[in-house]
Amino acid sequence: MLSFNSDSLLKIALTSGIIFWCYKIFAPFITLISWSIIFAVTVYPVFKFFQVKTEKPKSSAILVVILLLLSFLTPVYFISGELVQNITLLIKSLKVENLNLPDLPDFIPNLPLVGESIASYWVTLQDNFFDVIKNFKTEIRTLSTTLLKTFTNIGLNLLEISVAAILSSFILVYSNSLVTLFKKTFIRVNNEKGAEIFNLVGMTIQNIAIGVIGVASVQAIIAAIGFIIIGIPAPGILALLVLFFSSIQIGPGVVIIPTIIYAWFTFDFTPSLIYTIWSIPVMLFDNILKPIVMSRGLSTPMILIIIGLIGGTLLHGLIGLFIGPIILGVAYQLYKVWINES
């Protein structure tokens, strides 16, 4: 039977109070710290490569962070520029009530069942656009507010990611000391399996970050090149959708297949064929590369990764896209270690 004297209870109370107080102080920065750790662990092999070549940890960390920032800020720059340009033109057209809607592609009126109805309604919009939208003032106002909030949240998330990337440079500079500290902590918790669990956590973060987000980013970049070369409208926005759908494991096909159909109905035979040949490997890319990357030393079920991606995004927003599958992946690997140890 356990017994506690007043000194033991006082120590427990003080320790609990300090831990709780530390948590409250760190709570506003947990998301930022999570981003920083994920970035640092993901790019750690690249940092070690530059460190071996230059023998300068600080310079290597700065170089890696600059490359990291360029990798996601460059696409954001082009996409935001495209959005601003289109929105500016739309606002100008609405102010002077001179918005000219384009004609529908020839194949739409020929669609069975719905083609004629769509074409008829589109002609009405072309002739009386401003009279029609006056009937939807409430819906348009609600949509505008939602879009404004969405773009504001995206901007804040990007700012948070940028700050986290910069903070990750400090983690990389002192990575040797931090690795030793955290490894000792894991060993302190579990003397026999501590080092193995620590390595497992690092490997899980790297594999999931590279396997899910890295592969999706490569798909988005290659798809964007195809959109731009062939002349698909709004290539930046479509590339962002490819990144999103690839990340949540739905796949880029939901974006790319409609663009292939659009190309065949809009462009000549040769460019449409070349674009189709270019796009098919992009859609199949993750089926080949993702299992190779994510299976290195791990056996995390894909269903857990999908749940982590969707659940993490719903719970934590953009950061959840990364944290969700990583947390579930780490938990699954720790569970396996615990079961095998038992």
Q: Could you report the per-residue pLDDT of 261-289, keeping only the tens digit for each?
A: 888 877 888 888 888 888 888 888 777 76
40 vs 322 pLDDT, higher one = 40
Residue-wise pLDDT tens digits, 59-114: 888 888 888 788 777 766 766 666 667 677 666 665 555 556 666 666 676 667 77
Question: pLDDT exceeding 90 applies to what percent of the chain?
Answer: 0
Q: Which amino acid is at 219?
A: Q
Residue 316 pLDDT: 73
Residue 293 pLDDT: 65
| Average pLDDT for 210-230 | 81
Which position has the token pair 């000792």? 184
d(CA 2, CA 21): 27
Please provide residue 99's backbone torsions phi and psi, each rounded to the nearest 5 degrees: -90, 115
pLDDT range class, residue 313, cuts 50, 70, 90: confident
Residue-wise pLDDT tens digits, 324-341: 777 787 788 778 777 876
The chain-wide mean pLDDT, for the chain, equals 77
Residue 184 pLDDT: 85
| Average pLDDT for 237-262 | 81
d(CA 33, CA 165): 10
Residue 192: pLDDT over 80? no
Q: Is the Cα dihedral 218, 221, 225, 227 positive or negative? A: positive
pLDDT range class, residue 51, cuts 50, 70, 90: confident
189 vs 51 pLDDT, higher one = 51
Window from 112-126, 210-224, 267-281 with minimum mean pLDDT: 112-126
pLDDT range class, residue 132, cuts 50, 70, 90: low
The number of C-alpha atoms within 13 Å of 27 and in the hemisphere containing its C-beta is 7
pLDDT range class, residue 31, cuts 50, 70, 90: confident
11 vs 93 pLDDT, higher one = 11
d(CA 272, CA 278): 10
132 vs 148 pLDDT, higher one = 148
Q: How far is CA 17 from CA 10, 14, 20, 240, in A?
A: 10, 5, 5, 45
Distance of CA 90 to the CA centre of its chain: 29
